Structure 1
Amino acid sequence: MPGPMSEQGRQDFLAAIHVGTLSVASIDERPPLAVPVFYHYEPGGDLTFFTNTHGRQSRKVGLIAKHGVLSLSVQHEELPYKYVTVEGTVTGIEQPPTAERMLAITRRYMPEEFAQSFVQQELAHPGGTVLMYTVRPDRWHSADMSEEVA
């Protein structure tokens, strides 16, 4: 059986570069919403991610506003399999965030030139609303199969 990670291990794992799967409860008969997101986290701190409505009503934005809580899960898909899921409370929303705050996230996933272009396009999208969420991790779930495959 995979064992849970230590507190430092799970924080370091979450701080590494992974695409997260954000989940938030639904308000109707539909299942919970789960979407991939780029995010930023430093051990001991809060989690941040941003989204752009691109001029349309966003189910994600509405559900986060309604509930104020969400889950984010990240994983290492190859052996040794590992995952971390945090359940957290939204503690802040910036609308719009600064380009520098957005770059702190996009630089983790893209080369500098692409990160700069991506952020400028997101901020300049006509009719779009860029929101940066800050989430306090409240509960952690994790598993690490490193011992089993060693």
Structure 2
Amino acid sequence: MTLVMTAAERERFLADLHVGILSVAGEDGRAPLAMPVWYLYEPGGEITFATGQDSRKMRLIREAGRVSLVVQNEEMPYGYVSVEGEVTSVRQAHPDERRALAERYLGAEGGAAYLESTKDVAHTMVIVHIRPERWLTRDYGKQTG
């Protein structure tokens, strides 16, 4: 029996609500940068997330041109999806995109409060698009017992 997810399972898992850990190559002599991110994904599409246009994370993403993202179940049955891909575009974040991310993770009320608390930096936010290319997965719920 394999614990590897099918293509449909891995895409559904990635589309579910998880905080992702984004990794990108670091500068010479430094380890890769790994940071939690809120993201959006629809099966068959690209992964998108917001970040500050002048952040270290964004500078490294521009230099590397590719990233990896890991999402996991933190409760049993454990499972994860790790995906690597190319950055296909970076563009100014639209308020509706920021709202969609905030509400996905915090709900309508919490999302509105988050957007209000970050309104002074909203103009510095960009949306990064990643095309998934390589996948690693495990679903420990597939174990027989």
Contact 1:5 1:142 in 2 (8 A): yes
Q: Which amino acid in 2 is paired with 1:134?
A: H
Contact 1:122 1:130 in 2 (8 A): no
Alignment of 1:69-88 (within 5 A): 69-88=66-85
TM-score normalised by L of structure 2: 0.91
Aligned-residue identity in percent = 42
Contact 2:52 2:58 in 1 (8 A): no
Write out per-residue CA displacement over residues 25-44 of structure 1, whole angstroms, 9 at most, x where no aligned residue.
Answer: 11210100000000000111
How far did 1:113 drift? 2.1
Contact 1:52 1:122 in 2 (8 A): no
- Runs of 4+ in structure 1 deviating by more than 4 angstroms, as ranges, are none
Give the gaps of 5 or more residues in structure 2: none
| Root-mean-square deviation (Å) | 1.9
Q: Does 2:129 match 1:134?
A: yes
How far did 1:49 drift? 0.3
- State how far apart, in whole Å, the 2-side matches of 1:149 and 1:110 are: 35
Give the gaps of 5 or more residues in structure 1: none
- State how far apart, in whole Å, the 1-side matches of 2:138 and 2:132 are: 17
Per the alignment, residue 25 of structure 2 pairs with 25
Contact 1:40 1:48 in 2 (8 A): yes
How far did 1:149 drift? 5.6
Alignment of 1:86-97 (within 5 A): 86-95=83-92, 97=93
- State how far apart, in whole Å, the 1-side matches of 2:30 and 2:13 are: 31
Tell me which of 52, 56, 71 is aligned to 1:59. 56
TM-score normalised by L of structure 1: 0.88
Q: Does 2:7 match 1:10?
A: no
Q: Which amino acid in 2 is paired with 1:8?
A: A
Q: Which amino acid in 1 is paired with 2:133?
A: D
Contact 1:72 1:87 in 2 (8 A): yes
Tell me which of 135, 138, 142 is aligned to 1:143. 138
